[in-house]
């Protein structure tokens, strides 16, 4: 099963939360924070927050979302009525503001794959 890859940045986390809030309006905001942190492998939102701010300032980190970890944390918080595949599809449809790659990386990859000119 493939999971969506996303750049680990505050704006992308905010987009993820916004999409989850629109798809599941009955879930409390703080519970979504905890579930999002769990989906990235953190024990709590409080543990994820400083890492998110530090990493996004100095590096590009691409992480895989894990809808099953998110779902498990929501179940621990009392939300048992969420279908795993529906949650997975919702995450795949999110338009994240920061792509996991940018123009520089894409250009570098294209340059590496471009064959040398025949008349060079």
The whole-number average pLDDT for the span 60-66 is: 85
Beta strands in 23-107 (DSSP E): 62-64
State the Cα–Cα distance between residues 22 and 41, nearest whole angstrom. Answer: 23
Could you tell me the pTM of the whole model? 0.79
Q: Quote the distance between the C-alpha of residue 80 and its chain's center.
A: 22
Segment 93-120 shows an average pLDDT of 75
Q: Is 65 left (phi over 0), alpha (psi -120 to 50) or beta?
A: beta
For residue 116 the two structure tokens come to 């040398």
Q: In whole angstroms, what is the distance from residue 39 CA to residue 114 CA?
A: 37
Supply the pLDDT for residue 61. 83
């Amino acid at each position: 099963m493939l999971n969506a890859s996303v750049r680990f940045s505050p704006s992308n986390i905010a987009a993820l939360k916004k999409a989850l809030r629109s798809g599941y309006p009955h879930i409390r905001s703080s519970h979504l924070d905890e579930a999002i942190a769990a989906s990235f492998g953190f024990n709590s939102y409080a543990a994820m927050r400083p890492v998110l701010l530090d990493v996004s300032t100095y590096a590009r980190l691409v992480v895989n979302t894990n809808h099953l970890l998110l779902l498990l944390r929501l179940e621990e918080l009392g939300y048992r009525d969420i279908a795993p595949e529906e949650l997975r599809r919702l995450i795949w449809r999110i338009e994240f503001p920061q792509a996991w790659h940018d123009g520089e990386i894409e250009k570098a990859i294209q340059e590496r794959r471009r064959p040398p000119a025949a008349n060079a």
